[in-house]
Amino acid sequence: MRILEVSTFYRQVGGAEIYMHQVAEGLRARGHEVAIFAGDPDESRDEELTRVVQRPDFHAGRLVRDPALNAAFEELCADFRPDLVHLHNTYSFPSEFPTVIAKAAAKSGAPICQTVHDWSLLCPNGWCTVPPSETEQFRVCEGGPGKKCLERGCGANYPFDGRVVLASVMKLASARAAVTNFTAPSSFLTGMLGEHGLGPAHALPLWIEPDSFGGLEAFEEAQRTVERDPNRMLFVGRIDREKGLDFLVRALPAILQRNPAARLELVGSGTETDNLRALAAELGVSDALVLHGRVPHDEVVGHLVGAAVHVFPSIWCENSPLTCYECLLAGTPMAASDIAGLPEMVREGETGILFRPRDVEHIAERMLELLGNVELQARLSAGCKQSVERYSRKAHLDRLEEVFAETRELGPKANPAAHDNDLLAALHSVLDQAKVVEDWANGMQGHLQHLEADRKAARGSLLGKLLGR
């Protein structure tokens, strides 16, 4: 089968991109011919089986239409003539892009199967949670971009504006009209896709193999040489607000009051590093917080094997984090927010424990049940290692090939156009002009700030002369 893999990013910047490249490698090993089409903010590539189009992360004028990107895809599709298009994330691709894929691929009879890695199809900022307010408690959103995203103030989770909501509405409509079949790593997200008319949809967890995450040998060696600390909490990943690490830090005083030996170690980098350091100082728990920054993967393995528990205090909808699979391989018990896809990996009493998202008291209570409890840790660790057998590359690729066969049998969507072309052209023009005005306003603001700085410097110089300095 000739399969065309498509993703926003070519470089392996996250789990979705890592998965795309691993799937491409696995499918090639099974005799399929695989090409890749992707974007990149910094570089472009034009090779026989790889086409990378340089595009910035955000440009308002390209939220709904991107003629250069569309033309590049149509050219590769005409040359490669795929039997099937396997679509992944499309963050910075225009909302009409699924329609463009469907029309270009249909010329060779190729339908689209999309692997949905997160909630970006159902939410303008990908969180898919309702922020807490005076009138509503924090909860998972029912999904579906629209006016509720603005009415509920969901920009408090991660900022967006009406342009992004509009593009999200159109992108969802395009996917509904153009994509034949869907997979997602969690049953939770799979169910939500079906509720929004994105189907058929199949739950397909990721895989763990002896060579996954640097190789089984690395984990076995670490388990021989690293002693597990029964009081050590660990987080590995992006240190950004959606990961909820501030709630975990806020739980530290209560944890330390009953277990003074407890400590929290964070491995990774992100926008919240300085804020967490300041919060720990404010709460008087700086000595119990260790910030390692980014480290090589072989060191990550050592951290995982040496921790009593890996904590996922997420306040957004997680799907099926790669770190969960690493924890299973390392035999590291997990503690996680009871939200979205996490309970499917962190099974209460089997591979870990769950707590209520954003609930500092409950986080502290559950962590105290686990920390120092060597017997419980050993039982959960054994459960993690036993779970590895559920996730094999062979089973995953076998099932993916079955979904691909089903997708080809269903065929391309008969009428993939989700939007009126005149409306789309008008919106593209309006958003493009808005970007020009926005750039001008930002430039003027910078210019005015520069003039104000010059005035202050001049006043300072004059005052100095008057004072005889």
Q: Following DSSP, what letter does each residue of 37-89 receive, concatenated?
A: EEEESS--EE-SSEEEEE--S--GGGSS--HHHHHHHHHHHHHH--SEEEE--
* Cα 270 to Cα 127, 248, 292, distances in angstroms: 17, 16, 12
CA distance 112 to 85: 5
pLDDT in tens, 106-163: 888 999 999 999 999 999 999 999 999 877 789 999 999 999 999 999 999 988 888 8
CA distance 94 to 112: 17
CA 374 to chain centre: 33
Under 8 Å between Cβ of 355 and 366:
yes
Please name the residue that has the structure tokens 């919060």: 279
Closest CA to 95 of 148, 142, 164, 193: 164
Amino acid type, 85: V
Q: Following DSSP, what letter does each residue of 130-190 receive, concatenated?
A: EPP-SS---EE-----SHHHHHTTGGGTS---HHHHHHHHHHHHHHHHH--EEEESSHHHH
Q: By percentage, how much of the chain surpasses pLDDT 90? A: 66
Q: For the domain with range 2-207+394-419, which CATH number is right: 3.40.50.720, 3.30.450.20, 2.70.98.10, 3.40.50.2000? A: 3.40.50.2000
Quote the pTM value: 0.86
Alpha helices in 371-392 (DSSP H): 374-387
Under 8 Å between Cβ of 265 and 292:
yes
Provide CATH code, domain 212-390.
Answer: 3.40.50.2000
Domain residue ranges in the chain: 2-207+394-419, 212-390, 420-469
pLDDT in tens, 210-258: 666 666 677 777 778 888 999 999 999 999 999 999 999 999 999 999 9
Domains 2-207+394-419 and 212-390 in one fold: yes
Relative orientation angle of helices 273-283 and 245-258, to the nearest 10 degrees: 30
pLDDT in tens, 69-88: 999 999 999 999 999 999 99
Amino acid type, 400: L
Please name the residue that has the structure tokens 């009871």: 338
Least confident stretch, 27-36, 211-220, 283-292: 211-220
- Predicted confidence at residue 208, as pLDDT, reads 84
> Would you state the structure tokens that stand for residue 57, as one six-digit string?
């992360």
> Would you state the structure tokens that stand for residue 152, as one six-digit string?
């509920």
The residue count for the chain: 469
Give the neighbor-by-neighbor strand order of the sheet with 201-203: 45-46, 50-54, 33-40, 2-9, 84-87, 112-115, 181-184, 201-203
Under 8 Å between Cβ of 148 and 81:
no
Under 8 Å between Cβ of 268 and 304:
no
- Predicted confidence at residue 287, as pLDDT, reads 97
Going by pLDDT thresholds of 50, 70 and 90, the confidence category of residue 63 is confident
